[in-house]
Structure 1
């Protein structure tokens, strides 16, 4: 079981993070400062150190040298995001911005520990093996250096494009639904490029407050705004010589879009509050789940920037469009989670296999990974059932030709108010909203259940059919 040290001076955050990690099968120790961590523990004995950047006494970056090569994940507020990038230059393995959600933290921790495990095993790779492809990676990664699982025709075409595009300096726009793996594609493009040894700076444009985004991206001069007590370089500058990955670029404000256009056209930036420009050499990779061309037509996205980004466009297919890949990915995730949580001999029951293949996965690969992680934690036998995966479809009534599936509240492309609803709440919300213009047959099909099941749930939840003007089926 991996042993993690949390160094955080705010007791509430430290305790909540400890509970989160312990619930996910990690052994956790904690300290409120670097000094306390030194006094109580042998820091190099931990598998991972998660530390706040700003601590009483010494900053969290002091733990990088104290860890003697063990990975250090830095936590930081949005206001000090630039400092987090500086900490990566000092040797931190990654940073995570506060406030973060639980999934984001768990994914970061799992990725760092997995990468460290693979790095430890790399020296044992047989000399005859292809460079960069250990025998373990072949099992868990069907596409070697690209780092993405799957072999459906759409993905094979994607891998071919990645290999062609990566060595160039062309801008790339990655399109696809939330959770399809757009950041994985960006990392592959960077790792296969001639910029691979330079930094890859990833920025989620939707996660940074609009009032800070220009300063964070392009930097600012001293006195440029209230609180700017010193000049600071931006993230574009930090990516100089390397790659800048802008995720959710459709959320970028128009003013920041204009500044970004100058970077692409002239290869230069101007910090907020400065009259001087400076040259930068940055390759831009952008990603979005939104229709940028449509947004440009209504004035919400600059058309000139769209065409600058759209030099090379890569469209990632949704998981439901990838055929047998979904089973391959599910088994790879199951193996990974079993190894991480020290569980043996877990497998998918027949109903789980069927549900995985037929569910529409509106949250795509991210939803699948979270479902399997939850199932491994909760499973009390050797077989994982469809119920443990949280897939609420009537397997006996499935018809492969017309199955539509349950729209999920986890879909980030939905604008319906369902983000915090349970499946039962969602069912009630969906039926009440659509029963006036849909027949019972249509409702059942949209929900991926039988009419009998629809009637039974109406009875259980007390949702009567509309008698006046209601559609019938």
Structure 2
């Protein structure tokens, strides 16, 4: 069981936090100052230290120096960006404002400990050169995913890759379908031969057949010389056809012949040529439905759909969002000579709440944009520029005084009958007599500034005795 050290000079807060963490199953020790923590305990033997920033004597950030291998979560009543920047520059893994929400604290502790466990396992694992060679082509080395859905994808890729089976990868734009295709190729016996990738949506319809199958000199206007097609170029290797749902009908018929007979015929040629190509296709469209409307050949669909791999959208991979963000942050920070970048807790929450219609690609773009704009070492929600994503957040189940059943009923009723703005107005009017503006904003998952702006836009007056 993880051991946590609390360093807090206010007995009421220290006692409440100790009870909260003990009840959650953690082993907890506490102290009233840095000196007391050092004298009575050994801070570097704990899994996590939670410390107030302002303490009698040395500040809480001193524990970062005294226990360099233990993550330190800083609590502060002075929750300004300046104090957050200073704390995290000194090595704090996160900060949290007092008075804190119990669920927020437990979530922060769980996230830090999970991150620490992952880092420890990675550091303690020795890898032989042979194991490293296998790991380099493993899907988990190309695609990040700790959630169950992605682990199933990795397992399927490992099973299918060594075979010659045609694979259809399905998933929304930006989910990483090309990475999955690359993993399939690199784990196959064809890894030493080329992987040719073709985006069928990016090639004009008039040129798609020439690009795929090649053409003979003079076969059409502009064909001043013979050309080898991409399928022939992939001979002995793998061909990845992205967005195959955009392939025109005539090209579909020719591709079917490649799958059935293993041969191609260049545009303008009367001779066929045998090719040995492993076909991997991908699409974000429903090919089965397209066969019913005649947009996609049914026989080609069944030839392609021998083995199907579905890449889940990012909104179904909630546990992976922060891990992906940290990976992108390290990569972008290294590129831009900003190696000390960190996400603020508020930025982490914004990332977790956003619906990610553009999936992993959108997340990567958001991190890259924030890295460029960041003037210090902390990525804030404003830099991520995902404000619109807050509107798409699922209404939390704890909106109404933690009453789970009542909240679920309210969520169901409002989501079926009300727009988001209607829901906002309904919730604020119903709860503002017993909640402060801060509490309303927290429950709605928005900032106080956003709460005020929406009040103005919707004409919802604040209660007269409203305060912080």
TM, length-normalised to structure 1: 0.58
CA contact (8 A) 2:235 2:275 kept: yes
**Bigger-Rg structure (1/2):** 2
> Offset at 1:253?
0.4
Equivalent in the alignment of 1:321: 316
CA distance in 1, matches of 2:167, 2:267: 26
Alignment match of 2:154 (pick from 141, 150, 159): 159
Aligned Cα root-mean-square deviation (Å): 3.0
**Which whole-Å deviations, capped at 9, do the CAs of 1:231-280 have from their partners, x for residues lacking one?**
11100000011000000001100110000000000100111111111111
Alpha-carbon distance, 1:180 to partner: 0.2
Please state whether the residue corresponding to 2:364 is helix, strand or coil. helix
2:190 equivalent among 191, 195, 199: 195
Q: Give distance in 1, aligned partners of 2:378 and 2:454.
A: 28
Match of 1:184 in 2: 179
What's the counterpart of residue 441 of structure 1? 422
Query: Which deviations, in whole Å up to 9, do the C-alpha atoms of 1:366-393 show, x marking residues without a partner?
Result: 0000110110110011110111011105
- Listed as ranges, the matches of 1:304-383 within 5 Å are 304-383=299-378
Alpha-carbon distance change, 286 to 398 in structure 1, aligned in 2, over 3 angstroms: closer
Inter-partner Cα distance in structure 1 for 2:202 and 2:425: 37
Aligned residue number for residue 232 of structure 2: 237
TM-score if structure 2 supplies the norm length? 0.58
Instruction: Pick closer, same or farther for the CA change 1:349–1:130 going to 2, 3 Å.
Output: same
* Residues 269, 395 of structure 1: alpha-carbon distance in 2 compared, 3 angstrom cutoff: closer
What does 1:117-196 correspond to in 2, within 5 Å? 127=128, 130-132=131-133, 146-196=141-191
Match of 1:272 among 262, 267, 270: 267
Contiguous gaps of at least 5 residues in structure 1: 1-124, 404-436, 460-473
Are the structure 2 counterparts of residues 443 and 163 from structure 1 closer, same or farther at C-alpha, using a change threshold of 3 Å? same
Does the Cα contact within 8 Å between 1:320 and 1:360 map onto a contact in 2?
yes
Aligned equivalents of 2:308, 2:181: Cα separation in 1: 12
Question: 1:384: which partner in 2?
Answer: 379
Shift of 1:133: 7.2
Distance 1:394 1:295 in 2: 31
Contact preservation (8 Å) 1:174, 1:314: yes
1:323: how far off?
A: 1.8
Residue 38 of structure 1 is matched in structure 2 by: none
Distance in 1 (CA, whole Å) between partners of 2:254 and 2:214 is 11
Is 2:213 aligned against 1:218?
yes
User: Does the CA contact (< 8 Å) of 2:391 and 2:420 recur in 1?
Assistant: no
1:396 shift after superposition: 11
CA drift at 1:400: 5.4
CA distance in 2, matches of 1:439, 1:355: 18
Match of 1:413 in 2: none
Indicate if the aligned counterparts of 1:220 and 1:271 stay in contact, CA closer than 8 A: yes
Query: Aligned partners of 1:345 and 1:365: how far apart in 2?
Result: 23
Match of 2:436 in 1: none
Contact 2:371 / 2:379 at 8 angstroms: preserved in 1? yes
Could you give the per-residue CA deviations for residues 115-150 of structure 1, whole angstroms, max 9, x where no partner exists? xxxxxxxxxx9756832378xx8xxx9x66651111
Distance 2:166 2:236 in 1: 14
- DSSP 3-state at the match of 2:197: strand
Aligned residues of 1:441 and 1:451 also touching (Cα < 8 A): no
The aligned length equals 296
| Secondary structure at the counterpart of residue 380 of structure 1 | coil
Alignment equivalent of 1:302, drawn from 292, 297, 304? 297
Contact preservation (8 Å) 2:139, 2:183: no
